[in-house]
Amino acid sequence: MSSSSPPTTSSSPTTPSSPTNSSPPITSTSALVIIDVQNEFLDPEGNFPISATVRPTLLSNLTTLIPRFRASGGHIIWVQAIYANRAVEPAIMAAQDKGDGIVGNNAWLVAATHVFSIPCCEEKTWGSNIHPEIFALSEKEDVIVIKHGYSAYWGGNKGLSDAFKEKGVEDAYFCGVASGTCVLATIVDTVRRGEVRVHALPDCMGWRRENTHVEAVKRFEELGVDVVAGDRI
């Protein structure tokens, strides 16, 4: 896949035959994938701030989880959105039916990117920077994946697949912002690709509207991924 091109989508992602019953221990083949914890979303002054209801809990849970995950031998992968200021949907996005649900259809989410009159995470802006309170926990061995769409496989520097291969990842644990858009899109895309086992950490995710988070968790379960609290891994 070209790093400048969105991923190819399918109308119905392949799902595992059954959900994971328990999370395996964190090892050197595990990765915590932290999606879009950027000023645009985490700071109240950002263009698209998450709900003030969830923000303190998200920050607390992530600042606890990241060092604990690292101490257990797992890898940390930071996913950073860099969006063009688009007025028109790219062809691959326009070709998908968004649907009329609380969040977009799975195939649409995988193909989608930011298209709105208000810019979001434009390159070299304050809003695109990873939130300093969270990024203070980063280490030099961490991987940063730049994405240009909702899915982290819209790679700007490398795709998420390359990051998994680089670190020898077999189990990926997903958290970040927002649960009903970029986190869901990336989980859908990861399940479809079948490269790693997928785990979702809903209590380590942020949202702008709670009903979208509830719908996202429902989708995770429908996909057959392991849905687990961050303090249970």
Question: Each residue of 1-13: pLDDT tens digit?
Answer: 333 444 443 333 3
- Examine the pLDDT at 154 and tell me if it is beyond 90: no
| pTM of the predicted protein model | 0.89
Residue 68 CA to residue 88 CA, distance in Å, equals: 42
Task: Dump the DSSP string for the chain.
Answer: --TTSPPP--SS----SS--SSPPPP-TTEEEEEE--BHHHHSTTSSSPPPTTTHHHHHHHHHHHHHHHHHTT-EEEEEEE----BSS--HHHHTS---SSSS--HHHHHH---BSSS--S-TTSGGGSBPHHHHTT--TT-EEEEESSSSTTSBSSS-HHHHHHHHT-SEEEEEEE-IIIIIHHHHHHHHHHTSSEEEEEEEEEE-SSHHHHHHHHHHHHHHT-EE--GGG-
pLDDT, position 14: 35
pLDDT, position 159: 84
**Sorting pLDDT into bands at 50, 70 and 90, what band is 24?**
confident
123: which residues sit within 8 A by CB, 6+ positions away?
82
Return the number of other C-beta atoms located less than 10 Å from residue 233's C-beta: 23
Give the chain's mean pLDDT: 90
Domain ranges of the chain: 30-232
pLDDT, position 23: 80
- Examine the pLDDT at 141 and tell me if it is beyond 90: yes
- Examine the pLDDT at 209 and tell me if it is beyond 70: yes
**Sorting pLDDT into bands at 50, 70 and 90, what band is 157?**
confident
Q: Pairing between strand 197-206 and 171-177? A: parallel
**Sorting pLDDT into bands at 50, 70 and 90, what band is 158?**
confident
pLDDT above 70 as % of the chain: 90
Structure tokens at 217: 């968790």
Mean pLDDT check: name the lowest of 72-86, 143-157, 206-220.
143-157
Read off the pLDDT of each residue in 154-179 and give the average, rounded to a whole number.
92
Q: For domain 30-232, give its CATH number from 3.40.50.850, 3.30.1450.10, 3.40.50.720, 3.40.50.300.
A: 3.40.50.850
**Sorting pLDDT into bands at 50, 70 and 90, what band is 22?**
low
What are the pLDDT digits (tens) for 97-133? 999 889 999 999 999 999 999 999 999 999 999 999 9
